[in-house]
Amino acid sequence: MSQVLYVHAKGGPPVGHALTRVAGRATVHLLALSGLPVEVAEDAARLCASVVTPPRAEHQDLVELITTRAREVGADAVLTFSEYAVVAVAEACRRLGLRGAGAAAALARDKRLMRATWDRHGVPQPRFRPVAGLAELEQATIELSCPLLLKAAWSAGSTAHQIIDEPGQARHAWHRSRQVMAESAQLGFAEMHVRGASEDFIVEEIVTGRAEEWFDGPGWGDYVSVEGVVVDGDFRPVCLSGRMPTVWPFTERAGITPAAVDSGAQRRIVELARQAVDALGLENCGTHTEIKLGADGRMWVIETAARFGAR
């Protein structure tokens, strides 16, 4: 069987769920950058050929740590299901000569780089500004049209998102987002490869969706996601998922596959996802692309995420 180094960190699907499935297809060596839940530790010892928990991984060269362990176990593939470790694993795979998301993986994590890349390629998206401080955020509230959404550039799962309805709310939103990101980092929910990533932010206009123009009947949210894989740089769509309307402001209730849009709309949505993914230059990985559905057939790409690497 193939030898797989599974890099575990916080975030992503439950490790017990993912580990069982990986172990069913390969010999697994687990590199646990975050502590394993008590109920998973015994299963890990049974399912894995080896389990290594390095001390204080955040203070080490993470790519070197992963690369060294992969060589020790003779890994044929290195993967992670945590967004916070995607960039480090991609770089380790590149150094090892293994398939992975590639040198451009950071473009699918850092929302500033992502949006700047899409801007150069003409991908439709909300207007945005990268912000490194309160003064830049306050200026952006003048240059852009409220309401705005302040995001941490390296966040996942809508962590630290703040809505700004008018410029006077910028100061509170800035301090609140930075506080939440600092607290999240203390809990281990932060980008692991880039130091100071919790200080990087972006602000963007909130575009208006029109779910009723895309779906027959109520109960659908105004955005969809396209799941896919990139194989040697070629994007291959897998499925199109719809959403139930979110609970204000960002709590997702359910994803529904397939999304009940007509075939013409499906083709247009998938082609926009392809345009967005192709622009990023990913090599071998899973992708998750979210697209807002507006009036008169208009669409905007919200973001793309690189998922697990591919062998």
pLDDT along the chain (311 residues), means of 10: 93 91 95 90 92 75 95 96 94 96 95 98 98 97 97 92 97 97 91 88 97 93 96 97 89 90 97 98 96 98 84 52
pLDDT of residue 124: 98
- pTM score, whole prediction: 0.92
Please name every residue paired with 227 in a beta bridge, in sequence order, or none if there are none: 239, 288
pLDDT of residue 55: 81
Tokens 């009940």, residue? 260
User: Residue-wise over 203-238: b if at least 16 C-beta within 10 A, else e?
Assistant: bbbbbebebeebbeeeebbbbbbbbbbbeeeebebe
The number of beta carbons lying within 10 Å of the beta carbon of residue 198 is: 25
Q: How far apart are CA 7 and CA 133, in angstroms?
A: 33
- Are 174 and 137 in contact, with CB atoms under 8 Å apart? yes
Give, rounded to a whole angstrom, the gap between the first and last alpha carbons of the chain: 13
pLDDT of residue 198: 87
Q: Residue 78 class from Cβ within 10 Å (0-12 exposed, 13-18 middle, 19+ buried)?
A: buried
| Eight-state DSSP code of residue 304 | E
pLDDT of residue 236: 97
CA distances from 120 to 7, 63, 80, 136 (A): 33, 30, 30, 22
- The closest alpha carbon to 8, from 43, 53, 74, belongs to 53
The full set of domains in the chain, from first to last, is: 3-98 (3.40.50.20), 127-205 (3.30.1490.20), 211-309 (3.30.470.20)
pLDDT of residue 59: 55
The number of beta carbons lying within 10 Å of the beta carbon of residue 84 is: 27
